[in-house]
Amino acid sequence: MKKDKHLKLHPWKIIEEGFHPTKVTSSESLFSIGNGYMGQRANFEESFSGETFRGSYIAGVYYPDRTRVGWWKIGYPDFFAKVLNSPNWIGIDIQINNQDFDLNRCLKIEKFKRVLNLKEGFYLRSFEAVLKDKTRVFIESKRFLSMARKDIGMIKYKIKPLNKKCLIKLNSFIDGDVSNQDSNWNEQFWKHEEKETKGNFAALKSETLKTFYKVCTFMHNQFFLNDKILKETPKIKIKKNKISHTFSYSVDSNKTLSIVKCGGYVSSVRYSSINFNKTYKLSKEALDLGFDFLLNEQKNQWEKIWENSDVTINGDIKAQQAIRYNIFQLNQTYTGEDEKLNIGPKGFTGEKYGGGTYWDTEAFCFPFYLATKGSLAARNLLRYRYNHLDKAIENAKKLGFSNGAALYPMVTMNGEECHNEWEITFEEIHRNGAIAYAIFYYENFTNDKSYIPKYGLEVLIGISRFWEQRVSFSKEKNMYVILGVTGPNEYENNVNNNWYTNYIAKWCLNYSIIQVQNVREKYKTDFQRIKKKTGLSEIEINRWKEIYENIYLPYDSKNEVFLQQDGFLDKELRSVDEIPINERPINQNWSWDKILRSPYIKQADLLQGFYFFEDDFTLEELKRNFEFYEPLCVHESSLSASLHSILASKLDKKDKAYQFFLNASRLDLDDYNKEVMEGLHITSMGGAWMAISKGFGGMKIKNKVFSFNPKLPSKWTSLSFKVNFDGSILTVKINKKETTFELTGDKSINLICSGKKINVQPKKNIK
């Protein structure tokens, strides 16, 4: 593995040293910041003529971009929802002695450094630059998106001439002329309506076309010489959709001119009405409190986040840095407060995947939010799907299903399907199972008994109705089969009896039957309501049972393994090691036809089932299936490595588990796939956290009892992680000799550690 030397190892920071013009777009992704409601790539404030990918996004603000496909198939969605690149509010252009400042055009750039401070939640960039006329300046910019005040971000931008007095012109602006890189038809996404400027404040009111989200982008500037505020008012320039405040000052050598800029968005996602006045007040209040005050507030917010979620690893700084980076980025993407929002595979760090919601949320992120933010955050994620149930029913109806059968979309923003490749849109139906599984996981993990009778059962009924109609009866096998599907392994399409899909369908039917009984017995009023609403009948419950008991699960008795799908053994089963290195990744080197005919697996497919349903199989079965399928897996989805790490830990394959963990957690930092410039792999970061807790920690929850079976990688001297259980934080501390627990709150808990029952009492001295 080639190491990126320009990134330094540090337990709490991501540090880049030296200016690398070819890595600007990659670093823009890596140093991205967000607060769950908005996020932005780490673009320079000043204009840059080199390669850059500018991006700033508002959670939930999307545009339905008309579908573009070569061959239209009935059932395709009309649009692909895209989170929108939003007006740029960070812009600060600089002129020094009448020369435009551009990092791409300087004579020299020295001491260039970027730091993402994970502990305190801010991003810093500093350097010394020598301009064409030999002027040397020091520039530093500190920026954060406030976790305490979700609409605002703050920048403190300093310029210090180092060898001569300079005339410095600062041009701070907001600019509505932005577009998505991935737009299908180059349509306009925004309509800009009104502009306002008042003193050092300026704002631009815009509306998204078609979806009609209203957004007020604003900036409020303050200027300082050293630490003294400058009272001069800026010159205002309004050009089309851009408002600039320009301010010139003659600055002596070694004096610092700085601008404190408060900016951001007030949007109709968060407010029923938006107006300039509200925006003005909000930003004025922030400036009155001052940059340092707000930064301190930010640190406190992050301290609280870390108190509930930190993972410590001793003996391996690479792993330590990586897992904190993953936790940091997950928190920047979704804070768990809002049931309208979710977690896109790239968060706010890029445009691939459109910012929509995938099964990634339930399968890879849900356990993280549940364990580090508590049941409310997890309930919000479940409610997101509950709120989309009607759309999932509509979606299934479009494909020919009836009677309230629900097919959740492969990718969505508002509940409607956005995906438009038939082999995935129509066939990658296992996603429905992950949504039901999250309900089961939540029910098992928390003491919240009300979710299923209030909401969850309706979702389970919709999903089970879908499976009921999606299976067919094979006379030849005398069993139920599921034809024409794509499993998690997208390198096989339109296969019959994908084991994972059949297994999860079977599990869903059984779990729904159990929950119908549970609600019927214990929540009579809810049951009556649901029965009336859904028309649930005994006949269909009996049919679910009949299918559950008779669904076909392909098995090969010679190798004693389950079969990924019908006919899998007809393939020439050669291990991934036989693929020449220069042909990897195969998805960038092989024709699609070659990939489809090959035995190679994109990501955990059958093994995904062994992860979800671990108690259904013996260790022996896991070993046989892992050793059969893992050598065929090319891990070309970011979601693959973490799952394999967990299973390898379970099998005591310590080195493999460790290597897979590094691949999962450092995927972006080490840019294994040479694509980090497109954005970070946010959802796979949830998988990295699972590799820690479920893999190395061996955490399991069965019948509401936690158990741990620690498997520390040999390099690590200790590991600790936290789990929020019913409002109390359980800290699990593992070292080479023992595992100990600390508990907050006032209730003790019973758990099992390496097979032994123990009772953990809350510690008095921890809150």
**Candidate residues 358, 445, 503, 511; the one interacting with ligand BGC per rule CB under 6 A:** 358
Distance in Å, CB of 603 to ligand BGC, minimum: 6
List 80, 112, 302, 353, residue binding ligand BGC (CB under 6 A): 353
CA separation for the pair 239, 246 (Å, rounded): 13
Site string for ligand BGC, 460-489 (x = CB under 6 A): ----------------------------x-
Quick note: the x/- pattern for ligand BGC over 680-709, rule CB under 6 A, is ---x--------------------------
Query: Is-contact 429 501, C-beta < 8 A?
Result: yes
Decide: 442 and 451 in contact? Cβ < 8 Å: yes
Residue 201, strand partner residues? 198, 220
Instruction: Please choose, out of 155-163, 239-247, 356-364, 740-748, the segment that lies near ligand BGC by the rule CB under 6 A.
Output: 356-364
Candidate segments 117-125, 225-233, 354-362, 741-749, binder of ligand BGC by CB under 6 A: 354-362
Pair of tokens at residue 760: 């953990």
Using CB under 6 A as the binding rule, whether residue 386 contacts ligand BGC is answered as no
Task: Give the shortest CB-641-to-ligand BGC separation in angstroms.
Answer: 13
Q: Which is nearer to ligand BGC, 284 or 584 (CB)?
A: 584
| The dihedral formed by the CA atoms of 24, 25, 29 and 34, expressed in degrees to the nearest 10 | 80
Amino acid making up residue 702: K
Closest approach, Cβ 588 to ligand BGC, in A, equals 13
CA distances in angstroms from 275 to 175, 195, 197, 607, listed in the order given = 18, 11, 13, 52
**Interface with ligand BGC, residue 359, by CB under 6 A:** yes
Comparing CB distances to ligand BGC, the nearer of 359 and 725 is 359
| CB closer to ligand BGC out of 200 and 683 | 683
CB 341, min distance to ligand BGC, A: 17
CB 642 to ligand BGC: min, Å: 12
Binding footprint of ligand BGC, residue count (CB under 6 A): 12
Q: Are strands 705-708 and 749-753 parallel, antiparallel or unpaired?
A: parallel
CB neighbour burial string for 577-594, b if at least 16 within 10 angstroms, e if fewer: eebeeeeebbbeebeeee
Nearer to ligand BGC, 136 or 602 (CB): 602
725 Cα distance to chain centroid = 23
Q: What does the H/E/C string look like for 474-521?
A: ECCCCEEECCCECCCCCCCCCECCCHHHHHHHHHHHHHHHHHHHHHHH
> Quick check: helix, strand or coil at residue 97?
coil
In angstroms, how far is the first alpha carbon of the chain from the final one? 43
Q: Which are the contacts of 375, defined by CB distance < 8 A and separation ≥ 6?
A: 442, 445, 446, 447, 448, 724, 726
Given 603, 608, 649, 665, the residue binding ligand BGC (CB under 6 A): 603
User: From the CB of 182, what's the least distance to ligand BGC, in Å?
Assistant: 15
Considering beta carbons, is residue 218 or 358 the nearer one to ligand BGC?
358
H-assigned helices in 559-691: 586-589, 592-597, 606-612, 619-629, 640-650, 654-665, 682-690
Give me the least distance between CB of 252 and ligand BGC, in Å please: 53
Binder among 151, 360, 526, 605 for ligand BGC (CB under 6 A) = 360
d(CA 401, CA 394): 9
Residues 688, 666 contacting (CB under 8 angstroms): no
Residue 152 or 643 with smaller CB distance to ligand BGC: 643
Dist. CA 125–CA 647, nearest whole Å: 40
Rounded to the nearest whole angstrom, what is the least distance from the CB of residue 608 to ligand BGC in the complex?
9
Buried residues in 528-547 as b, exposed as e (16+ CB within 10 A): eebeeebebeeebbebbeeb
Q: Supply the minimum distance, in Å, between the C-beta of residue 601 and ligand BGC.
A: 11
Closest to ligand BGC by CB, 202 vs 365, is: 365
Residue closer to ligand BGC by CB (options 363, 551) is 363
Q: Which stretch binds ligand BGC (CB under 6 A): 215-223, 330-338, 358-366, 647-655?
A: 358-366
- Alpha helix positions (H), 640-727: 640-650, 654-665, 682-690
User: Taking CB under 6 A as the rule, which mask of x and - marks residues 705-744 in contact with ligand BGC?
Assistant: ----------------------------------------
Residue 675 annotated among the catalytic residues of the structure: no
The nearest distance, CB 7 to ligand BGC, in angstroms, is 24
CB 79 within 8 A of CB 66: yes
Q: What's the CA gap between 399 and 462, in Å, rounded?
A: 15
Q: What is the contact mask toward ligand BGC in residues 251 to 280, using x (rule: CB under 6 A)? A: ------------------------------
**DSSP-assigned beta bridge partners for residue 259:** 157, 223
Q: For the window 619-658, what string marks contact with ligand BGC as x by the rule CB under 6 A?
A: ------------------x-x-------------------
Only segment of 164-172, 183-191, 209-217, 352-360 that touches ligand BGC (CB under 6 A) = 352-360
Identified binder of ligand BGC from the candidate list 263, 345, 695, 713, rule CB under 6 A: 345
Q: Could you tell me the strand order of the sheet in which 312-314 lies?
A: 312-314, 718-725, 728-735, 739-743
Question: Which run of H or of E encompasses 300?
Answer: helix 291-309
Selecting among 45, 490, 630, 675, the annotated active-site residue is 490
Single out the residue of 259, 298, 263, 260 nearest to residue 279, CA to CA: 263
What angle do helix axes 654-665 and 640-650 make, rounded to 10 degrees? 160
User: With respect to ligand BGC, which residue has the nearer C-beta, 241 or 608?
Assistant: 608
| Token pair belonging to 678 | 């497109």
Helix (H) or strand (E) holding 24: helix 24-30
Q: Which is nearer to ligand BGC, 150 or 602 (CB)?
A: 602
Nearer to ligand BGC, 637 or 645 (CB): 637
Is 65 near ligand BGC (CB under 6 A)?
no
**What is the per-residue burial (b if ≥16 Cβ within 10 Å, else e) of 643-665?**
bbbbbbbbbebbebbbbbbbbbb
Which is nearer to ligand BGC, 374 or 679 (by Cβ)? 679
Least gap, CB of 636 to ligand BGC (angstroms)? 8
User: According to the binding rule CB under 6 A, does residue 490 interact with ligand BGC?
Assistant: yes
Binding of residue 600 to ligand BGC (CB under 6 A)? no
Residues known to be catalytic: 490
List interacting residues with ligand BGC (CB under 6 A). 345, 353, 358-360, 488, 490, 602-603, 637, 639, 683
